[in-house]
Amino acid sequence: MTFAVGDRVRVADRAHAGHHRTPGYVKGRRGRIERVHGSFTNPETRAYGSDGLPEVVLYQVAFELEPARTYVDVFEHWLEEAR
Amino acid sequence: MHDRGAWPSDAPIDRTEHELADWEVLTDALVHSLAGEGLLNVDELRRGIESMPPDEYEQASYYERWIYSMEAILTEKGVLTTGEVDARLGS
């Protein structure tokens, strides 16, 4: 699933024992794609000695959290379509 | 409010700055040299830092965390043997 600016998304609410960059406070939260950063090697596999390929698309996602709108960079495999 | 990954906290952020000590500059250089040699990447460095026992993490300074992680990852890869650094330091 590839997303575009303006798309509504939800961050997967799943446990992940190893190194990952998806902060717990946005798991399960709905947000909006603000920007498509491009494709990057995957830190979840690079952290264990892999070359991080295939690259994964990284998005800047806006979340309406208290007390302020919060922008978090989230890799595509953590995002689901939200309706 | 700020956060550290999944741990929200209302504790004040320590914004104090200090001149880097020689060992801190060397630690930075060492990590970049190891990266250049393909022995340690930034994601492994972060994983090593995340693997610190929470109380040790809290007490360690920024570059002390890098040193902890460097030793852990290089030991895991067999570049260092367990206790090698301590033995060389005579401690």
Please enumerate in sequence order all residues whose Cβ is within 8 A of that of B31, keeping only pairs 6 or more positions apart, or say none.
B40, B45, B66, B70
- Going A16 to B12 to B54 to B72, the CA torsion angle's sign is positive
Q: Is the pTM of this model over 0.80?
A: yes
The class of domain A8-81 in CATH terms is mainly beta
- Nearest CB neighbour to B43, from listed A23, A25, A46: A46
pLDDT digits (tens, 9 = 90+) for A46-71: 999 999 999 999 999 999 988 889 99
pLDDT digits (tens, 9 = 90+) for A16-39: 989 999 998 899 999 999 999 999
Query: Per-domain residue ranges for chain A?
Result: 8-81
Test A43 with B1 for CB contact under 8 angstroms: no
Test B8 with A48 for CB contact under 8 angstroms: no
Cβ–Cβ under 8 Å, residues A52 and A43: yes
> In chain B, what residues touch A19 (CB-CB under 8 Å)?
43, 46-47, 50
Test B43 with A24 for CB contact under 8 angstroms: no
- The band of B1, judged by pLDDT with boundaries at 50, 70 and 90, is very low
Residue with tokens 């000695």: A49
ipTM of the complex: 0.85
In chain A, which residues touch B (CB < 8 A)?
18-19, 23-25, 43-44, 46-49, 52, 67
